[in-house]
Chain A
Amino acid sequence: MQIQPKYFEKTQYIETLNGNKVSKGSILCGIMNIRLHGKTIIKPGVIVRGDLANVNIGRLSTVSENTVIRPSYKKFKGAVSYFPLNIGDHVLIEEGCVISAASIGSYVYIGKNCVISKRCILKDCCYIPDNTVLPPDTVVPSFTTFSGTPGRYIEDLPDCFEQYMKDYTTSIYESFLPINTLSKGRS
């Protein structure tokens, strides 16, 4: 089935020149440290803690409702230091997640209600199904599925996952439309 278009009210979203769509219902702390690379959708209820460390989110990524993005920290000689959090391109994060990873590669899918604990490293092309809890310091290699509590290696992904995610995230971005264009029929 084709992804059904989702409509949003123009007044509820801020659109930037390079195509970012950020909900006014989201909380972006330390906006100076948050960088969206374009065509990124941030849905209402999302909290991004840019005040702790830099947060970079790549192109055509989507962060769904009520997700918390919070850079991870580590104790060095008693002092706490935060790591910047990098999220790659074509990443889809579903609702209600807590993301404290050190880095998330490109073409990554994170399902609903997942917890990505401190300093996790998600490589390019990986799949985290709904309700997974990844323990701290977990490394998720490319082309693998990690699921369960605690998240464990389950199986390999199909090799064309990169192309699949490109196609999927692009169509999600394209079907996320302002409500005004509703009347101009998309059959």
Chain B
Amino acid sequence: MHSIRSNNHCSFNLYNDNNQILKYSCFCGKAFNLTELYYCNGCQQINCRYCITEEIDFHYCPNCIENLNSAEASVNGNKCKKCFECPVCFNTLTYSVIGSKDVNTVTSPPTAGVTSPTTTAATPTTGETYFLNCGFCKWNSLDLKDEFKFDMPSLKAKKESSIQQLQVNKSIEALNKEAAELTSLKDKKTINRIKLAQAMKHFLGPQSKHQKHNQRKNFNKVEDRWESTSMAHPVPHNHLVPTPPPGQTLLSEAAIAQRVQPITMTEADQMQQQRIDAREFETLDPLGDTVKYDDDITPFLRDQVTECDQVSSLDQRFKNIAHSSLSTSSIHPQRKHLITKRSKRCKRCDKLLVKSEISLTKTEFKRQHFAFTYVPRVQITRVLWIDNDIFEVFLQFTNPLHIPLFINFPMSIKGSFISTDDNSQPIDLCEHETYINGILDETDDLEKESIIQTLKQNENPRYIIDRKDNKLTMKFIGKVGIEEEQIAPKDNNNNEEITNLTIIHLTESLANLSTSTEIPKFNSQFKDIKFTITLEFSTSSLSTAPSTSSSTTTADKQQKTLLKLLFDIPSNKFENTLQQ
């Protein structure tokens, strides 16, 4: 199997150039930075983010750090009850008092850390009214209607409902009722209808999975849910979704009256089929007269606008789905979206990899199986050219565990030594097993101790440069260009094929060039040197001297983990690349 360098997912790894150089291959072949990987103890393998399943532990508001369970979050449309977001710059809004001359700002909800003053503005008089205020762009809710003025700070918003929303709520209610009635029947055809009704409901107002069982209880809450949920845009073309007739918006009263009709059985089946067929986006003819965008600026509005700030941006309109307005003066603040804490499981054996504490103030985990704390960490300490197209890499291995780790560079593996995009390969590396000390310099059993002693005696100073605490520095020699026989045929999906690594021992004088004082400069063929080093590690001795490798028991095999390190070193990181 060929490993592929994948783009790091986290932006913090993208900002840091160093985190792009070395990637660790997951069992599935995708390679990421070490920080983004997990290590499953059960199957002794690395898990990338495609090899884990996530489940939401709880939701919390990023501003007031209040955690809610999924049911609570769903009732409020996955939004915080107290915190508002500025409609213009999306900053969190603060509550301020109307009337007082020096505007007394009250930090919106009582947050942890700084205790916000509870007694602001002398004595709280009875008639105090609060409004929302943005500390960044100076937007405030004074110009809006009374719905964003409150008697108390940190009070939830009043219900708002436009004609369109009420119409949709009615149709959801009808569907809900129908679904509830149909659940009592056990007809095959009715099941289809239930499914359809549920699909419609899901589309119109996302609900949590728990609500299947207590739909009746939630009838009255539909209204709340609709006004507070938002959907991703653009939505793929779907026949179940009514398309607006030209000149009208989707949710205008006429359009809804036209669309909402009783559904017959055949229609239901047909619609379901169409749903399956309609997995593609509708192509629009931009020149055709039939397409009329309802957000086209009318000539009237065009004359009024004097500054481009007066027209709302797409971002601002997407946040304001319910009443997306053309002008920034009439867009409303939105309640803050909740974010989630998730636990992660291994996809292969369903073992729990990461589970965080319920408390949000702690950063500890109930369970933490990060690759960062289980897999030897590798750093490049030095890389240089020793001849044309031959380079030398010094790698520092760090053992994150308390017990010694045994590592070995296998000479033959199932699959390929070469990864996709590789332009170089290692040609001279340590063939014998070696070890890295643990953080604590003590070994629990004598057997390990004796193995370490023998390994230490046999160790080749040519490859092993330095040993310090839980760190080990080793030397590798690689060359630009790939030997053909080491590339497993790509079209062959049989991953069981064994490939071998050829070792070329370089002459001592060449290999020791790095220690000489003056290093000649060399030209680099490629901008980036990409190669792969394959490594096995285990907490117990691998005992894989080349002669005995065939006789290793299956128990041993399960304990060691095969690790592929994918390097991508820019040529300017080499000490002696000729500058062009």
Question: A: which residues have CB within 8 A of B?
Answer: 1-2, 74-78, 83, 102-103, 106-107, 109, 111, 117, 119, 121, 123-125, 127, 129-130, 135-145, 147, 150, 152-164, 167, 187
Chain A residues with CB below 8 A from B137, complex form: 150
Chain B residues with CB below 8 A from A137, complex form: 92, 94, 105, 107-108, 111, 135
The answer to whether A2 touches B396, judged by C-beta atoms less than 8 angstroms apart, is yes
The answer to whether A157 touches B365, judged by C-beta atoms less than 8 angstroms apart, is no
Roughly how many angstroms separate A164 CA and B65 CA in the complex, as a whole number? 24
Known pairs A1-B18, A74-B117, A142-B360 / 15 extra A-B pairs, C-beta < 8 Å: A106-B363, A121-B113, A127-B12, A129-B12, A135-B92, A135-B135, A136-B135, A140-B62, A142-B361, A142-B363, A147-B11, A150-B91, A157-B10, A158-B36, A160-B370
* Of the residues A106, A141, A156, A163, contact of B373 by C-beta under 8 Å: A163
Roughly how many angstroms separate A147 CA and B90 CA in the complex, as a whole number? 12
Chain B 349-360, CB within 8 Å of chain A: the 1/0 string? 000001010001
The answer to whether B114 touches A161, judged by C-beta atoms less than 8 angstroms apart, is no
Roughly how many angstroms separate A129 CA and B15 CA in the complex, as a whole number? 8
* Of the residues A127, A135, A139, A160, contact of B65 by C-beta under 8 Å: A139
The answer to whether B339 touches A144, judged by C-beta atoms less than 8 angstroms apart, is yes
Flag the segment in B194-202, B273-281, B379-387, B491-499 that touches A: B379-387
Chain A residues with CB below 8 A from B503, complex form: none
Min CB–CB distance A87 → chain B (angstroms): 13
26 CB-based A-B contacts, threshold 8 Å = A2-B396, A83-B114, A103-B114, A107-B363, A123-B361, A129-B11, A129-B12, A129-B15, A135-B135, A136-B135, A137-B92, A137-B107, A137-B111, A139-B63, A139-B65, A141-B62, A142-B360, A142-B363, A147-B11, A155-B10, A157-B10, A158-B36, A160-B368, A162-B363, A163-B370, A167-B377
The answer to whether B373 touches A160, judged by C-beta atoms less than 8 angstroms apart, is yes
Chain B 87-106, CB within 8 Å of chain A: the 1/0 string? 00111101000000010110
When A and B form their complex, which 10 residue pairs have the shortest distance between CB atoms, in order from nearest? A160-B370, A135-B136, A160-B372, A121-B113, A150-B136, A150-B91, A124-B363, A158-B35, A102-B114, A136-B135
CB of B257 within 8 Å of the partner chain: no
The residue in chain A whose Cβ has the minimal distance to the Cβ of B344 is: A159
The answer to whether A102 touches B360, judged by C-beta atoms less than 8 angstroms apart, is no
The answer to whether B379 touches A1, judged by C-beta atoms less than 8 angstroms apart, is yes
CB of B465 within 8 Å of the partner chain: yes
The answer to whether B112 touches A121, judged by C-beta atoms less than 8 angstroms apart, is yes
Question: B: which residues have CB within 8 A of A?
Answer: 10-13, 15, 18, 21, 35-36, 60, 62-65, 89-92, 94, 102, 104-105, 107-108, 111-114, 117, 122, 134-137, 339, 344, 354, 356, 360-361, 363, 365, 368, 370-373, 377, 379-382, 394, 396, 400, 465-466, 473, 573
Give the most central of A1, A119, A129, A147: most B CB within 10 Å: A1
Instruction: Report the tally of A-B residue pairs with Cβ distances under 8 A.
Output: 130
Roughly how many angstroms separate A63 CA and B94 CA in the complex, as a whole number? 31
Roughly how many angstroms separate A83 CA and B115 CA in the complex, as a whole number? 11
Roughly how many angstroms separate A127 CA and B381 CA in the complex, as a whole number? 26
| Contact A102 to B62, CB < 8 A, known contacts A135-B135, A163-B373 | no
Chain B residues with CB below 8 A from A74, complex form: 117
The residue in chain A whose Cβ has the minimal distance to the Cβ of B18 is: A1
The answer to whether A125 touches B135, judged by C-beta atoms less than 8 angstroms apart, is no
Chain B residues with CB below 8 A from A159, complex form: 344, 354, 356, 365, 368, 370
The answer to whether A139 touches B361, judged by C-beta atoms less than 8 angstroms apart, is no
Roughly how many angstroms separate A103 CA and B381 CA in the complex, as a whole number? 36
Roughly how many angstroms separate A162 CA and B357 CA in the complex, as a whole number? 15
Chain A residues with CB below 8 A from B344, complex form: 159
Roughly how many angstroms separate A153 CA and B339 CA in the complex, as a whole number? 9
The answer to whether B365 touches A76, judged by C-beta atoms less than 8 angstroms apart, is no
* Of the residues B63, B122, B356, B372, contact of A164 by C-beta under 8 Å: B372
Chain B residues with CB below 8 A from A145, complex form: 10-12
Min CB–CB distance B435 → chain A (angstroms): 21
* Of the residues A111, A152, A161, contact of B90 by C-beta under 8 Å: A152
The residue in chain A whose Cβ has the minimal distance to the Cβ of B339 is: A153
The answer to whether B91 touches A135, judged by C-beta atoms less than 8 angstroms apart, is yes
Roughly how many angstroms separate A109 CA and B10 CA in the complex, as a whole number? 14
Min CB–CB distance A117 → chain B (angstroms): 8
The residue in chain A whose Cβ has the minimal distance to the Cβ of B373 is: A163
The answer to whether B92 touches A138, judged by C-beta atoms less than 8 angstroms apart, is yes
Chain A residues with CB below 8 A from B64, complex form: 139
Min CB–CB distance A5 → chain B (angstroms): 11
Chain B residues with CB below 8 A from A123, complex form: 65, 360-361
Chain A residues with CB below 8 A from B90, complex form: 150, 152
Min CB–CB distance B168 → chain A (angstroms): 29
| Contact A2 to B379, CB < 8 A, known contacts A125-B363, A127-B12, A164-B372 | yes
The answer to whether A141 touches B360, judged by C-beta atoms less than 8 angstroms apart, is yes
The residue in chain B whose Cβ has the minimal distance to the Cβ of A86 is: B113
Min CB–CB distance A41 → chain B (angstroms): 19
Chain B residues with CB below 8 A from A140, complex form: 62
The residue in chain A whose Cβ has the minimal distance to the Cβ of B466 is: A187
Roughly how many angstroms separate A13 CA and B370 CA in the complex, as a whole number? 38
The residue in chain A whose Cβ has the minimal distance to the Cβ of B111 is: A139
Chain B residues with CB below 8 A from A162, complex form: 363
Roughly how many angstroms separate A157 CA and B137 CA in the complex, as a whole number? 28
| Contact A121 to B111, CB < 8 A, known contacts A2-B380, A150-B136, A158-B36 | yes
The answer to whether A187 touches B35, judged by C-beta atoms less than 8 angstroms apart, is no
Chain A residues with CB below 8 A from B65, complex form: 123, 139, 141
Min CB–CB distance B125 → chain A (angstroms): 15
The answer to whether B136 touches A155, judged by C-beta atoms less than 8 angstroms apart, is no
The answer to whether A75 touches B102, judged by C-beta atoms less than 8 angstroms apart, is yes
Roughly how many angstroms separate A88 CA and B108 CA in the complex, as a whole number? 25
Chain A residues with CB below 8 A from B112, complex form: 121, 139
The residue in chain A whose Cβ has the minimal distance to the Cβ of B382 is: A187
Roughly how many angstroms separate A1 CA and B575 CA in the complex, as a whole number? 12
Give the most central of A140, A147, A160: most B CB within 10 Å: A160
Min CB–CB distance A27 → chain B (angstroms): 26
The residue in chain B whose Cβ has the minimal distance to the Cβ of A124 is: B363
